[in-house]
Amino acid sequence: MRVSLQPAYLLHSRPYRDSSLLLDMFTAEHGRVSLIGRGAQRRSRGGSQAALLQPFRPLLVSFAGRAEQKPLLAVEAAGALPALRAERLFSGLYLNELLVRLLQRHDPQQPLFALYGATLECLATKPVVDADLRRFEFGLLDALGYGFDPAHDGHSGLPVAQNGWYQYQAEFGLVACDTAAVASGARFAGGDLLGIAAGHYEGEYGAAAKRLLRQALASHLGERPLHSRELFRQFRNAGRQQ
């Protein structure tokens, strides 16, 4: 199998054998693939290639083979490298880590690929991006088959009640709960859920939307913490100490 000039983004890379790189790529038509950039770390042969192989840059990649790890035959820039700085850089790393941790290899995800590119553009250009991050998280859950409707009880199918209380369960989504039996941090007000269902991810609904998506993703990520989240925590603490 040979694939030519496939739109792609680099999610993660690490040294591989002598001077090569093992590349975790997210492609438009082939999903997440593992490629070997032979000699990509060698300045004389791979200097220009190494300069292109940076996270968040839109790329066109060519690769071939049937092995799990395929050789990268060529790479071209398909756009400029977005200027992600400070908190926005950590948001981008967060997106990449979610994709690496949750996407299966060779599972085409074209709508999610487009959403990822649009979210990177928002991170680079918009003053406030909380809503864009929540949209990506919802889109990722939908792509994985874990999507849920914040406006309906996933167990009974009934509409969420404005004055009701609900908790997230991975197998159902949101289900009605007894406030006396569920800790405050694990339950959600019906009014907040209806706001989230209407696409309001900021303002008065922002905190609930962030908490809801964090719980939903955590149920599929497992116990290992997100490295990008820990890096951001260290960055924020360092800023406070200055």
The architecture of the domain spanning 93-241 is Up-down Bundle (1.20)
Residue 89 contacts by C-beta under 8 Å, 6 or more apart in sequence? none
* Residue 202 region by backbone torsions, left for phi larger than 0, else alpha for psi between -120 and 50, else beta: beta
Task: Find, among 119, 56, 93, the residue nearest to 233 by Cα.
Answer: 93
Residues of the chain with CATH 2.40.50.140: 2-77
Tokens of 106: 């060779």
Count Cα neighbours of 58 within 13 Å in the Cβ-side half-sphere.
14
Question: What CATH code would you report for 2-77?
Answer: 2.40.50.140
Residues of the chain with CATH 1.20.1440.120: 93-241
d(C-alpha 67, C-alpha 48), whole Å: 26
Look at residue 19 in the predicted model and tell me its pLDDT: 79
Tokens of 57: 């840059």
By the 10 Å C-beta count (0-12 exposed, 13-18 middle, 19+ buried), 183 is classed as exposed
pLDDT along the chain (242 residues), means of 10: 95 88 97 90 62 95 93 95 93 98 97 98 95 98 97 97 97 94 93 98 96 96 91 79 60
Look at residue 232 in the predicted model and tell me its pLDDT: 87
Look at residue 223 in the predicted model and tell me its pLDDT: 87
Q: How much is the pTM?
A: 0.92
Q: List for the chain the helix, strand, coil content (%; round to 5).
A: 40, 25, 35
Long-range contacts of 220-223 (CB under 8 A, 24+ apart): 220/102, 220/141, 220/144, 220/146, 220/170, 221/98, 221/101, 221/102
